[in-house]
C-alpha cells in the first residue's frame, strides 16, 4: 500500500492546480485586449470585407504596435513617384532618393518615373538605379508639351519676359522655367509613362524627407477618397500671377456646372471670390490623384488657362494653378494636409511638432514653417474648421 504523507501531498496538489489552470486557459482563451481603448478593435458584426478597424489614436503614421507593419500587407496602390529633372541634377536626385528610400520606400517599393525634356544619360540611369530596388522608368517629354503653343505671340512673350527680368522677379526672364511650369500644370499626368498609374508623389532633386513613413500614403488617399495631398502652403509672388484669378473667374462663370457648392474656394480668396489671396500648396511636394487631373473638369480648366497665355505672358506657376484647381473643384475631405511628412524644399521646412510624430524624424521642430508669416496654414485651418 502506498501511503502519502501531508508534506508529499502539498506539491501534488499544487501541480494539479497548475495543470487545471493551464487547461482552463487553453479551453477559454482570454481576450486580453477587450476593454483596452488603445488597441485595435475589429467589429465582428461586419462582414469580413468591411470589417471596421477602430483605433483610439487614429493617426495613420502611428500604427497600432500590436498589428503587423503596414508594408507586410502586399496590397499597393497603383502609384509612382514622378521626378521631372535634368541630367545635371543627378547628385541632388540621389541625395533625395537616399532619404525617400530610407524613410519610406525600402519598405513599400513604389516605382519611379523620371521625366526630362532631353534624353537621360547612361550615367544618370545607372546612378539612380543604384539607389533603389524599385522599378524605374525614364521618359522624354514630347516637344508639344515643352514649347510655345501656336496661339502665343512669341515676340510679345519675349518682351514681357525681359521686362519681368528687369523688374527683378524670380525666374522672371527664364523661358525654360515657364515651359516647366506649363508642363507640370497640364501635361505630366498625360505622359505615356504616367498613364499606367492612378496616384503620383511628386519629388524634386535636393528636397529632404525627415521622418519615417510607416504607412502607405497612396492607399490612405485611395481609401479615404482623397484627391490632393500637400505638406507646405504659402503665398505666391503677386507679380507672377496678376491675371490668373480674373481668368479663373471667367472660367467659373462659363462653366458653373464644373464648380461644386462645397468647395474650398475660401482657401484662395478672403473676399468670397473677388480677389486671389495668393495662398497655394507648394507643388514641389504633392501626393495626388492622376485621374482627377486627367478628368474633364481639370483638363477644361488647364486648356482655358493655357489659351489665356499667362504661362508665357506672365509666369504662372504650377503651384497656384494646381492649388486653385483643388480649391474650386474639391471639397475639404478630398484635400489632405500630410502633417506627419517632415519635408524641406529650400528655404522652407515642414517638421511635425506633435511629439509622437516628431520622434520619427530628424528635423528640428523649431524650423517648422507652418505658423510663420509667409505660411497659409492659418487660412487652411480657418477654412477647414468644422
Ligand atoms: P523651383 O522649385 O520653383 O525653384 O524650381 P526648380 O528649379 O526646382 O524646378 C522645378 C522642377 O522642375 C525640378 O524638379 C527641376 O529639376 C525641374 N526642372 C526645372 N527646369 C527644368 C528643365 O529645363 N528641364 C528639366 N528636365 N527639368 C527642369
Ligand atoms: Mn525646386
Distance in Å, CA 177 to ligand 1 centroid: 7
Q: Is the CB of 176 under 6 A from ligand 1?
A: yes
The answer to whether residue 286 is catalytic is yes
Measured between alpha carbons, how far is 189 from 185 in angstroms, rounded to an integer?
A: 9
Q: Is the CB of 85 under 6 A from ligand 1?
A: yes
| Mutation test residue for ligand 1: of 81, 85, 90, the one with most atoms within 8 Å of CB | 85
- Tens of pLDDT along the chain (386 residues)? 444 555 555 554 445 554 554 444 454 443 333 323 333 333 333 344 444 444 445 899 999 999 999 999 999 999 999 999 999 999 999 999 999 999 999 999 999 999 999 999 999 999 999 999 999 999 999 999 999 999 999 999 999 999 999 999 999 999 999 999 999 999 999 999 999 999 999 999 999 999 999 999 999 999 999 999 999 999 999 999 999 999 999 999 999 999 999 999 999 999 999 999 999 999 999 999 999 999 999 999 999 999 999 999 999 999 999 999 999 999 999 999 999 999 999 999 999 999 999 999 999 999 999 999 999 999 999 999 98
Question: From the alpha carbon of 203, which atom of ligand 1 is closest?
Answer: 14
Helices (H), the chain: 6-27, 90-100, 106-108, 122-129, 154-166, 175-186, 217-223, 244-254, 290-293, 296-308, 310-313, 318-329, 355-358, 377-384
∠ CA 306-243-153, nearest 5°, is 50
∠ CA 247-316-379, nearest 5°, is 80
How many angstroms separate the first and last alpha carbons of the chain? Answer: 83
Measured between alpha carbons, how far is 287 from 290 in angstroms, rounded to an integer?
A: 9
Which pTM does this prediction carry?
0.86
| Mutation test residue for ligand 1: of 84, 115, 232, 318, the one with most atoms within 8 Å of CB | 84
CA atoms within 13 A of residue 242's CA, in its CB half-sphere: 7
Cβ atoms of 228 and 299 within 8 Å: the answer is no
Catalytic pick among 286, 314, 334, 381: 286
Measured between alpha carbons, how far is 19 from 349 in angstroms, rounded to an integer?
A: 60
Question: 346-354 — which CB contacts under 8 Å span 24+ positions?
Answer: 346/206, 348/232, 348/234, 348/282, 348/374, 349/208, 350/231, 350/232, 351/210, 352/211
Distance in Å, CA 123 to ligand 2 centroid: 22
Nearest ligand to the C-alpha atom of residue 205: 1
What phi and psi values does residue 114 have, to the nearest 5 degrees? -100, 135
Amino acid 299: pLDDT? 98
Amino acid 47: pLDDT? 40
Question: From the alpha carbon of 118, which atom of ligand 1 is closest?
Answer: 26
Distance in Å, CA 372 to ligand 1 centroid: 26
Amino acid at each position: 500500500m502506498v501511503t502519502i504523507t501531508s508534506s508529499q501531498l502539498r506539491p501534488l496538489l499544487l501541480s494539479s492546480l497548475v495543470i487545471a489552470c493551464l487547461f482552463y486557459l487553453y479551453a477559454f482563451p482570454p481576450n486580453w485586449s477587450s476593454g483596452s481603448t488603445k488597441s485595435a478593435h475589429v467589429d465582428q458584426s461586419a462582414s469580413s470585407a468591411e470589417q471596421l478597424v477602430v483605433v483610439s489614436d487614429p493617426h495613420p503614421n502611428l500604427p497600432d504596435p500590436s498589428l503587423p507593419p503596414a508594408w507586410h500587407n502586399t496590397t499597393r496602390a497603383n502609384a509612382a513617384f514622378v521626378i521631372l529633372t535634368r541630367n545635371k541634377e543627378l547628385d541632388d536626385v540621389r541625395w533625395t532618393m537616399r532619404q525617400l528610400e530610407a524613410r519610406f520606400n525600402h519598405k513599400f517599393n513604389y516605382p519611379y518615373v523620371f521625366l526630362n525634356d532631353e534624353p537621360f544619360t547612361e550615367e544618370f540611369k545607372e546612378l539612380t538605379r543604384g539607389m533603389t530596388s524599385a522599378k524605374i522608368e525614364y521618359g522624354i517629354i514630347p516637344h508639344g508639351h515643352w514649347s510655345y503653343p501656336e496661339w502665343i505671340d512669341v515676340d510679345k512673350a519675349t518682351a514681357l519676359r525681359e521686362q519681368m527680368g528687369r523688374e527683378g522677379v524670380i525666374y522672371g526672364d527664364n523661358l525654360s522655367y515657364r515651359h516647366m511650369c506649363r508642363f507640370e500644370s497640364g501635361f505630366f499626368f498625360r505622359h505615356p509613362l504616367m498613364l499606367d498609374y492612378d496616384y503620383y508623389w511628386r519629388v524634386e532633386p535636393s528636397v529632404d524627407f525627415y521622418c519615417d513613413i510607416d504607412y502607405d500614403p497612396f492607399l490612405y488617399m485611395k481609401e479615404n477618397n482623397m484627391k490632393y495631398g500637400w505638406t507646405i502652403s504659402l503665398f505666391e509672388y503677386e507679380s507672377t500671377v496678376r491675371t490668373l484669378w480674373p481668368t479663373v473667374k471667367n472660367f467659373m462663370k462659363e462653366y458653373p456646372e464644373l464648380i461644386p457648392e462645397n468647395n474650398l474656394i475660401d482657401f484662395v480668396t478672403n473676399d468670397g471670390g473677388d480677389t486671389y489671396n495668393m495662398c497655394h500648396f507648394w507643388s514641389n511636394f504633392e501626393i495626388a490623384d492622376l485621374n482627377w487631373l486627367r478628368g474633364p473638369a481639370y483638363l477644361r480648366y488647364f486648356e482655358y488657362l493655357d489659351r489665356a497665355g499667362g504661362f508665357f505672358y506672365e509666369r504662372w506657376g504650377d503651384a497656384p494653378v494646381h492649388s486653385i484647381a483643388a480649391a474650386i473643384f474639391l471639397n475639404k475631405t478630398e484635400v489632405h494636409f500630410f502633417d506627419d511628412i517632415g519635408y524641406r524644399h529650400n528655404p522652407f521646412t515642414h517638421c511635425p511638432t506633435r511629439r509622437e510624430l516628431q520622434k520619427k524624424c530628424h528635423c528640428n521642430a523649431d524650423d517648422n514653417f507652418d505658423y510663420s508669416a509667409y505660411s497659409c496654414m492659418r487660412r487652411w485651418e480657418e477654412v477647414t474648421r468644422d
